Amino acid sequence: MIRLFLTFIVTLAPIFATADEQVVAGLSQNRVAITSNFDGTGILIFGAVKRVSPPPDDWPLQVIITVSGPRTPVVVRRKEKWLGIWVNTDSVNVDLAPSFYAVATTAPLNQVLSEVENLRHKISVDHLIRSVGVVESVPDAGKFSEAIVRIRQQNGLYTESAGIVDLTDETLFRTQISLPANLVEGNYLTRIFLTRDRRIVDAFTTNIFVRKVGLERWIFNLAHQQPLIYGILSLAIAILAGWAASAIFRLLRLN
């Protein structure tokens, strides 16, 4: 019984142990308002390293910062030309694909993080995207996930920037993450990792809240909560716009 208790204590010891180096961080703002003239913004992420003992001299400290947007399922379809017409052929359901993802580091990611740690904490974008429901008739299903990454990189939604995290005396760090205009509303998970010898020694998480405000918020809520009224209003506005355009055109012809 005593041996079992001691084994239990030894097993739990790493969980309750305090890291020698801990992240103390903050954001310039943790709320982003999407309005009609929103064209993107920048979030300053800064912090310091709290220590209980002098830092080791063998491996330099490195910092990794990630910002991840809401994850939504995506159906990726392949188009092929058939009889001169582009048609959808194969499709793959892609799950856990973030709408936005940014990685900022003090050095290239493969120099500050091992592949094992990368897989465990899902830091690089290729480890965040997972394909589900892949059928045997789609032998190259991995290319569908690669297509999502490629398209969203072209749209500025997926970025990986090495060397943009400034680290001073292995104590103070800062960087700026750019959020584009085509953001999806939701909570954006922000993670900060400290690494030595390509292993994570501490991590810190917080959230950036992105919300629509004003008229955009009212239209969004109406479309999702009262779709019938939203459809009737949209039809009425379309009819009114068409009538107004026709009336203006007739006046111009008379003059």
For the chain, the structural domain boundaries read: 20-212, 214-255
- Inter-axis angle of helices 227-254 and 215-225, nearest 10: 120
pTM above 0.85, yes or no: no
Q: Which has the closest alpha carbon to 103: 158, 155, 62, 145?
A: 158
pLDDT tens digits, 192-229: 999 999 999 999 999 999 987 766 665 666 666 777 77
Q: Which of 49-58, 76-85, 235-244 has the highest mean pLDDT?
A: 49-58
Q: How far apart are CA 100 and CA 159, in angstroms?
A: 9
pLDDT of amino acid 87? 61
DSSP 176-238: EEEE-SSPPSEEEEEEEEEEETTEEEEEEEEEEEEEE-THHHHHHHHHHH-HHHHHHHHHHHH
Burial of 120 (0-12, 13-18, 19+ CB in 10 A): exposed
Q: For domain 20-212, give the CATH number.
A: 2.60.40.3880
Dihedral sign (CA 48, 52, 58, 59):
negative
pLDDT of amino acid 233? 73
pLDDT tens digits, 147-156: 888 888 888 8
